[in-house]
A and B are shown apart, each in its own frame.
Chain A
């Protein structure tokens, strides 16, 4: 099958823009990045099928129909992206309500471990070192 360059260019641009936004810290931007990635992925799947007439029996010759299977997958993906968007939105809103912004902060626990590593200290996990004295 011969690929269509225009379609693949759209895929490339959507992935590039989506990835760039995904790497941001603002949740809204991450959300937009996810949406762009979703659109790009849908087009990528679409590229697997040669274009043709709509896959509805009786309206066209079956030989000229486009492959319906990628379409079914894309349809599922579109709706899942909607759900994902709704969830990320709710996350962004909750983050804003709790902290006044919708930025993804560094994980506090991980940062603490990093600081320990920089100070060349062990974790303060208890019970690791040998018993100092034994009292029953």
Chain B
């Protein structure tokens, strides 16, 4: 069983390739897969195949073939193979999207096979949804036409909605039974209202899939699909899934009895009969042969649902016989329409005239199939319909009432069958002839082989009629599930009421066809409710989106912050520890940095000049560093000082190009709201901090670190050991973020990819003049008015010293304050100094490497050091201590995590370099008057350059 399904999957996967090489002929090899299914079904009449799948959920790949599913397997495989073979001739070579079509079609056949053989209801649901999705793709095959897309979407939404309801029903039954196998569910059905609800939900799925009223509208619309799809999906396979489900559940529901059985019968029989009459009536008014058949299908599905849902032994046998007959004749008729369409170019029966004389073989096939549809002997359709009449006659008053409607429906069936044959083939003097004489429909060549598939199906219908007793023997095990007497399938029951009813139906149909009013339009497809529901959903979505998604960033942030204030704030108030002891300060010295910090932060908010605001915010950062220092965190203080400096330089580099003042402040009302939210958030956060700190009772996990870091981490600086060893994964994540940020900054600033690839100046700097002292390699490239010899000299003197300092911080960071981050930042500052003194050429001379390469090397070293530990048998990022005695350098204490820190160092240097190249050098290039990209206001105010050099001197003060 699994092999068959796998074969379908494999065929679906190779289908596009096959189609590319073979064209439409690829359908022949593909047809062998459903043919194999058919052959397999001939060998296996029943059986169970179980493979574990999700044992924890109790879901298994359980397959089971019994009479009902065997019949469906035969149809899915047999009709599938014939339709696929038909496709090979139907589609002209070079049809667009044929590969996808073939793949989806074969996949659909596989899904359908899985659906009808699944023993596990959840598994069946998976296949059920699969058929829905694949049929969506098949209906919308020519997705360029809007009606096709709409039809496909409509079918998808209707059947998926039903499928979801069905899933709920299945879950109700499965949870009650403690398992999802058919057998388990049949054994322990819930009682009373629960079963009624579950049954109704499952029927919702089945009826929507089989286009039963009130869901009938999607099926005629789905005729937008290519004709072979209609023949397979909407005649033999997919729409039968609903009928299959009804037939599968009927025995157990009827056996359960009670309200559930009554509900079941009422729903299936009533809705089925309504559908039968509606579909048959609508079919009488169709001029498009395909639509005529589509409404005919709706009608037949109604009959099948009613008969199979009715639930006596007789109706069950009659129902499955009709199901078999319907698949044969409806697929044949659709394929005939395909031939007509392909050879004459139309399906409109007002334009077809006298086709019967020109294509006699085609006409014979169509007449045979239509006879089966109308219930004429000797086709299987006749035997089936007789059995329906007979079994309903035996079923009491209700049965007779149903019978009356079925006979009326049969009259309609006869009438539209005649209309089909008459419309397609008859010679009508009044009709305009279309393509008269010129076309040679189905005469020879391609037409001839196109006829094969419908011919096989039509003759099979007749043959089955003659073999009715055999059909009965094969199918009767299903009916036996209901217990009791069965009726018999036969072409000749002898004179009796069923035969009389057949004659009445035939005569009534003839009269109906004769007297049918011409030129009137039939009933509407009934999609109005669907349309209104969809429009309402759309409107609701617009209203909800419009109300909640305002598109304003401050609005979103305000909502988030208000939620924070409300939730955290109310929790804080509720849990406030009254009378908790507190300290005013840890040391009175704290008052100095905190006082500076508060003043700077408060004045930064209303500042109107950008530079003022930036400097005030910078001051809070430096004040933060002071707090860190007083708290006993020299590492933090050092890092904060360096980061604040780098940040200030970065911001000033960009501020050169931005307007000096902020744009217009918002109105006072909005400003007050913002300040209000801000003040509330500040209060809440401070309060939460107070609460958290005072509530803390647990001993910090770091209590044992001082004893552990030296023997295990090989260092004395606990913070650094945490970063590169204990919590090295954190650091790994962080440096990955830094690499991403650096790349993001560069790609936001550089506009062209090739410049981005080499993040350095492409132009060669001008030649230096010979007569002046050279302090910096590219000092001469700075405009005379902006040069500062003092700065150049200081830079020259300091650059290498700073670099050495950075390496020192990196290597000693394991034992004293410092480490990869601080070292990298110091090295970055050295580069910043070079850039500020000598411009972008100087930067290129100082770091003649691609920033991306530095970042990549850093990441590689960091990851490599972690992986090396793994290779040498330790855990990822585990560190080892090496003590070496070298001849000249003396004792060398090496910890492998230092290698990791070197990676961190390189990444920080790469980040600074990338930022300088992007926000410094590239913005310089944008700002040049002869720049190739003069976008935006392009006068860099001289004051800004001054400000950046001021900054650089303050920066040097920091370092020295």
Contact = CB atoms under 8 A, between A and B. Distances in A.
Interface of A: 1-26, 28-29, 31-32, 35-36, 39-40, 42-44, 46-59, 62, 65-69, 71-76, 78-87, 89-94, 96-98, 100-104, 106-111, 113-118, 120-123, 125-136
A28 B662 contact: yes
B495 interface: no
B912 to A, nearest CB: 9
Contacts of B801: none
A15 B663 CA distance: 23
B377 interface: no
A2 B583 contact: yes
Nearest to A64: B632
B685 A66 contact: no
Contacts of A83: 737-738, 741-742, 911
Q: Which of A82, A92, A97, A98 has most chain B Cβ within 10 Å?
A: A82
B221 A69 contact: no
Contact of B722 (A10, A24, A72, A136): A72
Given A17-B602, A51-B631, A93-B654, A69 B150 contact: no
A39 B621 contact: yes
20 contacts: A2-B583, A2-B693, A3-B583, A5-B585, A16-B681, A17-B682, A20-B677, A21-B604, A22-B557, A71-B635, A72-B727, A87-B744, A97-B936, A109-B551, A113-B549, A121-B539, A128-B150, A134-B221, A135-B147, A136-B225
Contact of B719 (A39, A68, A125, A135): A68
A2 B634 CA distance: 23
B874 to A, nearest CB: 21
A36 B719 contact: no
Contacts of A97: 926, 935-936
A110 B730 CA distance: 37
B674 interface: yes
Given A117-B543, A128-B150, 6 more contacts: A2-B582, A83-B741, A97-B935, A106-B550, A127-B150, A128-B534
Contacts of A40: 685
A129 B531 contact: yes
Contacts of B197: none
B590 A117 contact: no
A90 B632 contact: no
Contacts of A49: 631, 700
Interface in B361-397: none
B551 A48 contact: no
B217 interface: yes
Nearest to A5: B584
B594 A93 contact: no
B221 A130 contact: yes
Contact of A131 (B147, B547, B701, B935): B147
A130 B542 contact: no
Does more than half of chain B's interface fall in helix, strand or loop, or is it mixed? helix
Contacts of B530: 130
Which of A17, A42, A74, A128 has its CB near the most chain B CB atoms (within 10 A)?
A17
A13 B583 contact: no
A69 B640 contact: no
A24 B624 contact: no
A86 B727 CA distance: 25
Contact of A4 (B590, B633, B717): B590
A83 to B, nearest CB: 4
A25 B718 CA distance: 42
Interface in B136-156: 145-147, 149-151, 153-154
B552 interface: yes
A49 to B, nearest CB: 8
**Chain A binding site: helix, strand, loop or mixed by DSSP?**
helix
Given A12-B683, A57-B710, A28 B610 contact: yes
B753 to A, nearest CB: 16
A129 B147 contact: no
B745 A54 contact: no
A2 B531 CA distance: 66
Contact of B658 (A28, A65, A118, A132): A28
Closest 8 CB pairs of A and B: A110-B551, A16-B682, A117-B546, A12-B686, A20-B678, A130-B527, A107-B551, A62-B706
Interface in B260-280: none
B550 A114 contact: yes
Contacts of A117: 542-543, 545-547
A2 to B, nearest CB: 5
A57 B722 CA distance: 13
B554 interface: yes
Contacts of B666: 24-25
B686 A25 contact: no
A87 B531 CA distance: 47
Contacts of A28: 610, 613-614, 655, 658, 662
A89 B738 contact: no
Interface string B670-698: 00001101110111011001101110100
B535 interface: yes
Contacts of A103: 663
Nearest to A130: B527
A128 B149 CA distance: 9
Nearest to A3: B693
Nearest to A114: B546
Nearest to A109: B551
Interface in B511-563: 525, 527-528, 530-531, 534-535, 538-539, 541-543, 545-547, 549-554, 557-558, 561
A88 to B, nearest CB: 10
Nearest to B709: A57
Contact of A96 (B594, B632, B723, B936): B936
B694 A3 contact: yes
Contacts of B821: 75, 79
Interface in B887-920: 908, 911, 915, 918-919
B226 interface: yes
Given A21-B604, A23-B558, A56 B630 contact: no
B657 A85 contact: no
Contact of A121 (B542, B545, B561, B723): B542
B772 interface: no
